Amino acid sequence: MQQLLVNYLIQPDIGAMTVKVAATYVSLYWGGAMIGRFIGSALLQKLRTETLLAVCALMACLLVITSILTTGHFAMWSILAVGLFNSIMFPSIFTLGVHGLGPLTGKGSGLLIASIVGGAIIPELQGIFADRIGVHHAFFLPAICYVYIMYFAIACSRTQREASPEHT
């Protein structure tokens, strides 16, 4: 992930910077993730997990698409801002994924932990696409992932609404 961001930021039509300078900008992505975690924790006290997850996935997807469709510093800052919205995704996905499993929670959480490998596979696939279609357009893959995360959050919301006592 970090190498993809560095490679993206050094592109002449994106940040046109050296690798060393680009690496310092990647820290802004992670700083945004930290800030997003604090804000997300506060928002989770007031909003349903699936609602916040859907909004964050939508925002991350829109930022990635914006970055794909633009160039220069606008593309650079929009991709760096994704960290702000990525921050609550795994804990929220985990919480929603084990919700209602009862005695199977241990097995379900184990499967979710094992699925973290997807976080290692997606950047590798994105790298393969970057080699073939360019690093700028290879960000379509994370955009698709954010759409799926949004779908997951909406599906969880519907499932929980249908299971609530007021619907019986």
Q: At 152, give phi and psi (nearest 5°).
A: -60, -45
Which pLDDT tens digit goes with each residue over 23-38? 999 999 999 999 999 9
Residues 67, 139 contacting (CB under 8 angstroms): yes
Q: What is the model's pLDDT at position 166?
A: 56
Which pLDDT tens digit goes with each residue over 121-156? 998 999 999 999 999 999 999 999 999 999 999 998
Has residue 78 got a pLDDT over 90? yes
Mean pLDDT across the chain = 90
Rounded distance between C-alpha atoms, residue 154 and residue 88, angstroms: 16
Q: What is the model's pLDDT at position 26?
A: 95
The angle, 0 to 180 degrees and rounded to 10, between the axes of the packed helices 140-163 and 89-98 is 40
pTM for the whole structure: 0.87
Rounded distance between C-alpha atoms, residue 2 and residue 105, angstroms: 33
Q: At 166, give phi and psi (nearest 5°).
A: -70, -15
Map out the domains of the chain with their CATH numbers: 2-167 (1.20.1250.20)
Rounded distance between C-alpha atoms, residue 35 and residue 32, angstroms: 5
